[in-house]
Chain A
Amino acid sequence: MNCKKCSQEPPKFFFRSYIGSAATEIFLCEDCTKAMSGGGKLLGFVNGDIITESTGAIAFSNKDIEKAADLECTCCGTNLMEINNTGMFGCEECYSVYSDLLMVAEAGVEQSKKDEEENVDKEYEKTVPLGKIQVLERQMERAVGVENYEMAAKLRDEINSLKEKSK
């Protein structure tokens, strides 16, 4: 088994992140870990090597952060950058303020998992307040942001197909 990113070096770190109930995990080599960590800390171990403590269990893409840069909780003042660094909300109101992003994040992970299982169940959209094409467009941007081009291409094809149908 080699590093998921470069496929060349043996893995040294195991990265796990939780969004809602879904966990995404990858094994990375040392260089790719440094490149991807962007100042955050990773969690886990491979064959007994400890990894440093995780700072957060939720991560938004850089595009999410750019788009919602001005968003701030009216009750406690927590902004998206802070959430991305700490993985923590500041109060109940944060859940309302960031609910759209949370739901898209959950839907995105759910969709990826379901695509992997080749199960084309669109139940997830019932929990998403945004339109279906908009959800898929956000997911596509997130996939591009984390360089998952295979997923981005699948999503692009699905968006085009939906747009064709709606004409």
Chain B
Amino acid sequence: MKNTIPIEALAKNTLPTWLRGDDNIVFCSTVCINRNIKGTKFPAKSSPDELKDICLLVGESLSSNEKFSDYRFDTFKSLTGHQRRLLFERRISSVGIKDENILSRVMLFLSADEQESILLNVNDHLEIKVCRPGFNIEQCLSVAKDLLKQLKLDFAKTDPFGYLTASPAISGTGMTAEVLMHIPGLMLTEEDLDWINIAKNEGVLPDGFFGPGTQPLGNTFAFINKNTHRQSEEDMVGSFGRSINAIRKLEVKARDGMDVEDKKDTVARAYGTMRYAQKIDFSEAMSALSLLFLGVDSGFIQSIGIEKLKQLTSCIFPTHLQNLTLCAPDEINSIRAKIIRNTLSKKTTKDKE
């Protein structure tokens, strides 16, 4: 296992996990399992020495196991703000890591492909996150459980509460499941409150792109199930999967049900903005890109392939853009617009009229 995660290089050269799949509705699936070491106070109440012991304990367990040989690690306090923001934009670290007290105690172990991570000492001693492109919740759960087994650690657990976490809301299985869903059909047909109610009835709730407390971006929401009690992880994942499939069907129905001319017009306007805008902010660019994805999916746009669109999406995130171009903050919107114009102006085949 190597020290230092090459975050800048990863950001330049590889797509984040959520953009690696072929599914144009469910971008990625994530399972997160929280655990605390038995007999030790939770991180917020632990002394610096106790927290260091946790890092050493987990570090030893990982380094002695071949399975984790490609993992790299870093302490959050050794990362620059730029690096932490890159991790956040790639959906590896959680949104709450801004507090200096928390930053000083958190450690990250990350697999080479970025699809598995272990965060130490955020709210709980361990936060194991497994992410896979597309709709792969069962696989995420299976991998996460295997990682836990490989660690061979004694976790805090009691009846009737199950596995004990700092937040009692997720005690029980200590597990949350999330999928990132791209739903331009539901958003454009303006039935947004209806589908929120339907999602609620199915037992899942939509959150922002980066999770709780954040905005949706480009018609993309994180659907999270935090139902950690009174059912096994497998049952929970099964019912969550059925709920997501129900919402997926609604999205397909919404896309198919849209008037073709209206859809073409909406996509064309987004394409026009992206093709010619001189300045474009992140939120507007993501919204327009969502429509371009819809256009490519519907066959209206053939001048740009889906892979190119994904690469474009990845590099327009603010910190990714700065990482790539070293531009100043006040230049970001112009540079973003320039990159988009250049990408879209490279035609490969004729646009469908």
Q: A20-B229, A21-B230, A50-B208 are in contact. Are A91 and B213 (CB under 8 A)?
A: no
Interface: A95 (CB within 8 A): yes
Interface: A40 (CB within 8 A): no
Residues on A with beta carbons closer than 8 Å to the beta carbon of B168: 20, 57-58, 89, 95, 102
Q: How far is the CA of A54 from the CA of B193 in the complex (A)?
A: 22
CB-nearest residue of chain A relative to B165? A89
Q: How far is the CA of A147 from the CA of B222 in the complex (A)?
A: 33
Residues on A with beta carbons closer than 8 Å to the beta carbon of B169: 18-20, 57-58, 87
Interface: B227 (CB within 8 A): yes
Q: How far is the CA of A127 from the CA of B229 in the complex (A)?
A: 13
A-B pair count, CB < 8 Å, reads 91
Residues on A with beta carbons closer than 8 Å to the beta carbon of B40: 91
Q: How far is the CA of A45 from the CA of B193 in the complex (A)?
A: 11
Asked if B215 and A45 make an inter-chain contact with CB atoms under 8 angstroms apart, the answer reads yes
Interface: B256 (CB within 8 A): no
User: Which of B95, B205, B230 makes the CB contact (< 8 A) with A23?
Assistant: B205
Q: How far is the CA of A63 from the CA of B311 in the complex (A)?
A: 55
Asked if B230 and A50 make an inter-chain contact with CB atoms under 8 angstroms apart, the answer reads no
Residues on A with beta carbons closer than 8 Å to the beta carbon of B123: 88
CB distance from A97 to the nearest CB of B (A): 12
Asked if B215 and A50 make an inter-chain contact with CB atoms under 8 angstroms apart, the answer reads yes
Asked if A88 and B44 make an inter-chain contact with CB atoms under 8 angstroms apart, the answer reads yes
User: Which of A45, A89, A91, A92 makes the CB contact (< 8 A) with B208?
Assistant: A45
Q: How far is the CA of A76 from the CA of B166 in the complex (A)?
A: 12
| Main secondary structure on A side of the interface with B | loop
Interface: A52 (CB within 8 A): yes
Asked if B208 and A127 make an inter-chain contact with CB atoms under 8 angstroms apart, the answer reads no
Q: A21-B228, A127-B160 are in contact. Are A89 and B212 (CB under 8 A)?
A: no
CB distance from B237 to the nearest CB of A (A): 15
CB distance from B150 to the nearest CB of A (A): 24
Interface: A47 (CB within 8 A): yes
Q: How far is the CA of A58 from the CA of B168 in the complex (A)?
A: 7
Interface: B48 (CB within 8 A): no
Asked if A54 and B213 make an inter-chain contact with CB atoms under 8 angstroms apart, the answer reads yes
Asked if A53 and B160 make an inter-chain contact with CB atoms under 8 angstroms apart, the answer reads no
Asked if B42 and A89 make an inter-chain contact with CB atoms under 8 angstroms apart, the answer reads yes
Residues on B with beta carbons closer than 8 Å to the beta carbon of A146: none
Q: How far is the CA of A1 from the CA of B96 in the complex (A)?
A: 32
Asked if A18 and B226 make an inter-chain contact with CB atoms under 8 angstroms apart, the answer reads yes
Interface: A100 (CB within 8 A): no
Residues on B with beta carbons closer than 8 Å to the beta carbon of A51: 213
Interface string of B20-40 (1 = CB under 8 A from A): 000000000000000010111
Q: How far is the CA of A57 from the CA of B200 in the complex (A)?
A: 18
Q: How far is the CA of A109 from the CA of B200 in the complex (A)?
A: 17
Q: A21-B228, A87-B167 are in contact. Are A92 and B156 (CB under 8 A)?
A: yes
Residues on A with beta carbons closer than 8 Å to the beta carbon of B110: none
Interface: B70 (CB within 8 A): no
Interface: B161 (CB within 8 A): yes
Q: How far is the CA of A95 from the CA of B96 in the complex (A)?
A: 24
Residues on B with beta carbons closer than 8 Å to the beta carbon of A58: 167-169
Interface string of B38-64 (1 = CB under 8 A from A): 111110110000000000000000000
**What would 13 more interface pairs be, CB under 8 Å, given A50-B215, A89-B42, A90-B41?**
A21-B229, A25-B200, A43-B212, A43-B213, A48-B215, A50-B213, A50-B214, A57-B170, A58-B168, A88-B167, A92-B158, A95-B168, A96-B158
> Which 10 residue pairs of A and B lie closest in terms of their CB atoms, listed nearest first?
A57-B169, A21-B229, A53-B213, A90-B45, A18-B169, A91-B41, A76-B45, A88-B166, A92-B156, A21-B227
